[in-house]
Amino acid sequence: MKKLISIILLQLLFMPALFAQESDEVRDLEQLLDEFLRGASENDAEIHDRFWAEDLIYTSSNGERVTKEIIMEGLADNPQNMNQQTPDYHAEETQIQLFDDIAVVTFKLVAISQPPSGEERLEFYNTGTFQKRDGQWKAVAWQATRIPMEM
């Protein structure tokens, strides 16, 4: 019985450290997502390279499945990308679930653009699966679904 009580007490002592470690990982993922969305607004190839894993499988909201290589080629092949005005992106309703070195990040992606006709807002549900590799979180799978706008 004393041994059981000792084990329970030890677990209680280490629990705050485990929760702190988990909250650090969640904070790191939130920061990574925020940096990525700001970089995506600027078509920043470095940000994309850092964010996506080499073996990424990305399914867009229009049903197209692409790889990191295709994403990076699209950024490099179109120099006009750097001069085009892109929407401002941000995340809402973010939820992060951790499973050791795997994380599932879900959020509502909001894209706001300023065409001559006035502000346009598009929304997408996004789910990203991340794996921690060499100390860095990388997106290995991604799914985007456009949310129909109410009229």
Interval 113-123 mean pLDDT: 83
| Residues 10-47: tens digit of each pLDDT | 565 665 654 445 689 999 999 999 999 988 877 888 99
Q: Which residue type does 106 have? A: T
* Residue among 110, 107, 71 nearest 89 (CA): 110
* Residue among 79, 73, 140 nearest 104 (CA): 140
Please check whether the domain covering 2-147 is classified as CATH 3.10.450.50: yes
Interval 100-127 mean pLDDT: 91
Task: Indicate the pLDDT class of residue 4, thresholds 50, 70 and 90.
Answer: low
Whether the Cβ atoms of residue 51 and residue 139 lie closer than 8 Å to each other: yes
Chain-wide mean pLDDT for the chain?
85
| Residues 73-97: tens digit of each pLDDT | 988 866 554 556 678 999 999 999 9
CA triplet 146, 97, 143: central angle to 5 degrees? 25
pLDDT over 90 percentage in the chain: 62
Kindly list the domain boundaries of the chain, sorted by start residue.
Answer: 2-147
Determine the pLDDT at residue 19.
Answer: 46
- Whether this prediction's pTM lies above 0.75 is answered by yes
Strand 88-99, strand 65-66: pairing: unpaired
User: What distances in angstroms separate CA 6 from CA 3, 17, 129, 148, one per listed residue?
Assistant: 5, 18, 38, 56
The rounded distance, in Å, linking the Cα atoms of 73 and 113 is 24
pLDDT over 70 percentage in the chain: 79
Task: Indicate the pLDDT class of residue 60, thresholds 50, 70 and 90.
Answer: very high
